[in-house]
Amino acid sequence: MIQIVGTTHLTLKEEIIKIIEEFKPDIICVELCQTRLNALVLNPVKQEVKEDNSLIGKISSAIKKKAEENKVEYGSDMINASKYALENNIRLELVDKDVNEIRTLMDLIPQNEMMGFMNELAKFENDNLNREVNEKEVLNELKTKYPVSFEFLITSRELFILNNILKLQLNNSNKRILIFLGKGHVNSIMEGLK
C-alpha cells in the first residue's frame, strides 16, 4: 500500500509525525538525495558555508532566508520525516535525483531563462511566504516561461522519482510505503503510478 503526502517543504514537525504515526509505514520515502540527506539530517553544519552561486543555490538561499524571516524551517517536512525514520528504525528511501546533477543541468539553461529566474527571485523576496499558492498554475507558468528549466527541475526529476517509487512498489508489494513529496509533484507522480 502506498500513500503519497504533498507538502509545502515548510510543514511543521508535529504534522509530519502525526501523518507517520497514523499510517504506520514500513518504509518512509522522502524527496531527498544522499547529498541533501547528509547536509540536512546526518551532518548538518551550522557554520558559515561557502556561498553557492549556482541558480539552484540562489533559489535555495532565497527560500531559506524567507523561511527564517517567518520563523519556519525550510525543508522541515523532509528533515523531520527522515529523522523520524532513522530514530524509529523505519526503512528510509531517498527518491529524488542528486542535487549536484540538478545543479549541473541548471547551469546549462539558456541565458534568457536564467535572467527570468533572477527576476522571479527578486519578486519572491518581496512576496508573502504564507500566501496561498495554486501549484498547477505555478507549474503551468513555469513550463510556459521557462521550458528548458521546467524539463530539468520538474520533468526529469519526476521521472526519476516515479521510477524509484515503481521499483519500491514492485519489490515491496506487501509493505506500507509512505511518500513525502512537494505538493507540485504529487499529481504527476499519481498519474504515473496509475
> Could you write out the DSSP letters of every residue in 25-79?
-SEEEES--HHHHIIIIIS---S------SHHHHHHHHHHHHHHHTT--TTHHHH
* Residues comprising the chain, all counted: 194
pLDDT tens digits for range 126-152: 666 566 667 788 788 888 988 998 898
- What pLDDT does 47 receive? 43
CA separation for the pair 89, 110 (Å, rounded)? 44
Give the three-state DSSP class for 9.
coil
Map residue 83 onto helix, strand or coil: helix
Q: What range does the domain containing 178 cover? A: 2-193
**Helix 13-23, helix 76-87: angle, nearest 10:** 50
Helical (H) or strand (E) element with 159 = helix 156-171
| Cα→Cα distances 172→7, 27, 95, 120, Å | 24, 9, 15, 41
- Indicate the pTM of the whole model: 0.87
Lateral strand order in the sheet of 177-182: 2-7, 177-182, 27-30, 91-94
pLDDT, tens digit, 9 for 90 and up, residues 50-99: 566 777 777 777 777 767 777 777 888 999 999 999 999 999 999 999 99
Domain count, the chain: 1
